[in-house]
Amino acid sequence: MSDLLVNLNSEQLQAVSLPPQHALILAGAGSGKTRVLTTRIAWLIQTGQVEPSGVLAVTFTNKAAREMLARLSAMLPINTRGMWVGTFHGLANRLLRAHWRDANLPQLFQILDSADQLAAIKRLLKALNVDDEKFPPRELQHFINGQKEAGLRAHAVEAWDDYTRRRVELYQEYEAQCQREGVVDFAELLLRSYELLERHEPLRRHYQSRFRHILVDEFQDTNRLQYRWLRQFADEGREGAAAMFCVGDDDQSIYRFRGADVGNMRDFEREFRVANVIRLEQNYRSHGNILDAANAIIRNNANRLGKNLWTEQGEGEPIRVFEGYADVDEARWVVEEIGQLVRDGMSRSDIALLYRSNAQSRVLEHQLFSSGIPYRVYGGLRFFERQEVKHALAYLRLIANPDDDTSFARVVNFPTRGIGARSQEALTDAARTFNASLYSTVPHLSGKPGAVLAGFVRLIEDLRRDTAKLPLPELVDHVLDTSGLRAHYRNEKEGQDRLENLDELVSAAANFLAEIGPPEDPDADHALLADFLAHASLEAGDHQAEAGADAVQLMTVHSAKGLEFDVVFATGLEEGLFPHENSLLETDGLEEERRLMYVAVTRARERLYLSFAQSRMLHGQSRYNLKSRFLEEIPETLLKWLTPQRAATMPGNTYFRPSAASPAAAPPPRRRDDGGLRVGQLVGHARFGQGVIVATEGAGSDARVQVNFGAAGVKWLLLSVAKLEVA
Partner DNA sequence: ATTTTCTATATTTTT
Partner DNA sequence: TATAGAAAAT
Residues belonging to the active site: 33-34, 217-218, 252, 603
Q: Quick one: which of 618, 612, 601, 607 has its CA closest to 578?
A: 612
- Residue 324: C-alpha distances to residues 88, 615, 639, 643 (Å): 44, 8, 16, 8
Q: Which residues bind DNA (CB under 7 A)?
A: 60-63, 87, 89-90, 113-114, 186, 218, 221, 254-255, 257-258, 260, 356-359, 362, 379, 382, 413, 416, 418-421, 538-540, 555-556, 558-559, 561, 580, 582-583, 586, 589, 593, 596, 617, 619-620
Handedness of CA 507, 511, 512, 513 (dihedral sign): positive
Alpha-carbon gap, residue 220 to 26, rounded angstroms: 10
User: Of 43 and 60, which CB lies nearer to DNA in the complex structure?
Assistant: 60
Q: Are 309 and 293 in contact (CB under 8 A)?
A: no
What lies within 8 Å, CB to CB, of 288 at 6+ separation is 311, 313, 314, 315, 316
Give the number of other Cβ atoms within 10 Å of residue 727's Cβ.
Answer: 16
Buried b (16+ CB within 10 A) or exposed e, 474-494: ebbbebbebbbbbebbeeeee
The residues pairing with 640 across neighbouring beta strands, listed in sequence order, are 320
User: Of 44 and 596, which CB lies nearer to DNA in the complex structure?
Assistant: 596
Alpha-carbon gap, residue 680 to 242, rounded angstroms: 60
User: Of 577 and 610, which CB lies nearer to DNA in the complex structure?
Assistant: 577
Tell me how many helices (H) and strands (E) the chain has. 26, 22
Provide the annotated binding site: 27-34
User: Of 112 and 509, which CB lies nearer to DNA in the complex structure?
Assistant: 112
What is the enclosing helix (H) or strand (E) of 386?
Answer: none
Alpha-carbon gap, residue 63 to 60, rounded angstroms: 9
C-beta of 580: minimal distance to DNA in Å? 4
What lies within 8 Å, CB to CB, of 451 at 6+ separation is none
Give the orientation angle of helix 527-538 with respect to helix 496-516, to 10 degrees.
Answer: 110
C-beta of 577: minimal distance to DNA in Å? 9
What is the enclosing helix (H) or strand (E) of 24?
Answer: strand 23-27
C-beta of 447: minimal distance to DNA in Å? 15
Report the half-sphere exposure of 148 (CA within 13 A, side-chain side).
22
User: Of 35 and 382, which CB lies nearer to DNA in the complex structure?
Assistant: 382
Which DSSP string do the residues of 76-105 spell out, in sequence order? --S-GGGSEEEEHHHHHHHHHHHTTTTTT-
User: Of 475 and 505, which CB lies nearer to DNA in the complex structure?
Assistant: 505
C-beta of 532: minimal distance to DNA in Å? 15
Backbone angles phi, psi at 274, to 5 degrees: -70, 120
Q: Quick one: which of 621, 641, 623, 543 has its CA closest to 580?
A: 623
Q: Are 191 and 230 in contact (CB under 8 A)?
A: no
User: Of 467 and 483, which CB lies nearer to DNA in the complex structure?
Assistant: 483
In terms of Cβ atoms closer than 10 Å to its own Cβ (0-12, 13-18, 19+), residue 7 is: exposed
C-beta of 125: minimal distance to DNA in Å? 10
Alpha-carbon gap, residue 12 to 694, rounded angstroms: 52
User: Of 466 and 588, which CB lies nearer to DNA in the complex structure?
Assistant: 588
User: Of 110 and 681, which CB lies nearer to DNA in the complex structure?
Assistant: 110
Provide the annotated binding site for ATP: 27-34
Alpha-carbon gap, residue 481 to 275, rounded angstroms: 61
